[in-house]
A and B are shown apart, each in its own frame.
Chain A
C-alpha cells in the first residue's frame, strides 16, 4: 500500500481565496482524521470520520472550514475564505482503530 496520500504537498494562496486539501486514506481503514500543526498550537485534531460519517468536528475552527468524505477512498478539507492565520501544515491520517497512519502533510501558506 502507498500509505496515506495527500495533495497538494505545498499550497501558497492569497487571503480570501478558497483552498481545498485532498486525502486518500489507506485502503481498508474505516477512520479518517484531519489535523493541523503549528508551532504555537501544536497538533490539533480538526475532524474525524468513521465509515465516511463525520463523528467529531468540534476541532474545526469556524465556519470557514468544512470537510467531506464522499466515499471510503477520498476526503477533502476546504477553507473558504482563507486567512493568514490558517497557515499551517495540515495532516490527514487513517486507521482501523488504534494506531493512526499519517500522510506527508500539506504545507499551506496564506499571504
Chain B
C-alpha cells in the first residue's frame, strides 16, 4: 500500500492566491520531502522536513508536519503561473533511502 497520498488530486487557483496541498501517510517516518514536477520534466526537490520538526519555510513555500496525525501540508503563497506543476510528497519507508512517492497533486495556476 502507498505510504503517502496527496490531497487534493487536482487544484485550480487564480494567480496571487495561496495553494495548499496535503499529504497523509500510514507509518512512522524519519523525514518527509516535497517535490515539484513540471510537465515532461524530472522531479525537483523543494523541502525536506524531519520528524522532529513542525514547520519549515523556503521562500514562498511553507511546509508543516503533524506526526500525531501522520500528515503534512505544503502551502504556496502568492502563487504564480510558473507554479503550475504536479507536487509530490515522499516518505521514507522503514529503512534506508527507500522513499515512497504519493500520486501527486496537479496544481494549475490561472493567470
Taking Cβ atoms with an 8 Å cutoff, the residues of A that contact B are 4, 31, 33, 42-43, 45, 48, 50, 55-56, 91, 93, 95, 97-105
Contact = CB atoms under 8 A, between A and B. Distances in A.
Contacts of B100: 45
Contact of A43 (B31, B41, B88, B97): B88
Nearest to A100: B45
Provide the main secondary structure of the chain A interface: strand
Given A42-B103, A42-B104, A43-B88, A101 B97 contact: no
A101 B97 CA distance: 13
Contact of B99 (A100, A101, A103): A100
B43 interface: yes
Interface of B: 31, 33, 41-45, 48, 88, 96-104
Contacts of B88: 43
Contacts, number: 48
Given A99-B45, A102-B44, A103-B42, A45 B98 contact: yes
B31 A104 contact: no
Contacts of A93: 42-43
Contacts of B33: 98-100
Given A43-B88, A98-B48, A99-B48, A56 B96 contact: yes
A107 B99 CA distance: 22
A51 B77 CA distance: 39
Contact of A101 (B31, B41, B45, B102): B45
B45 A97 contact: no
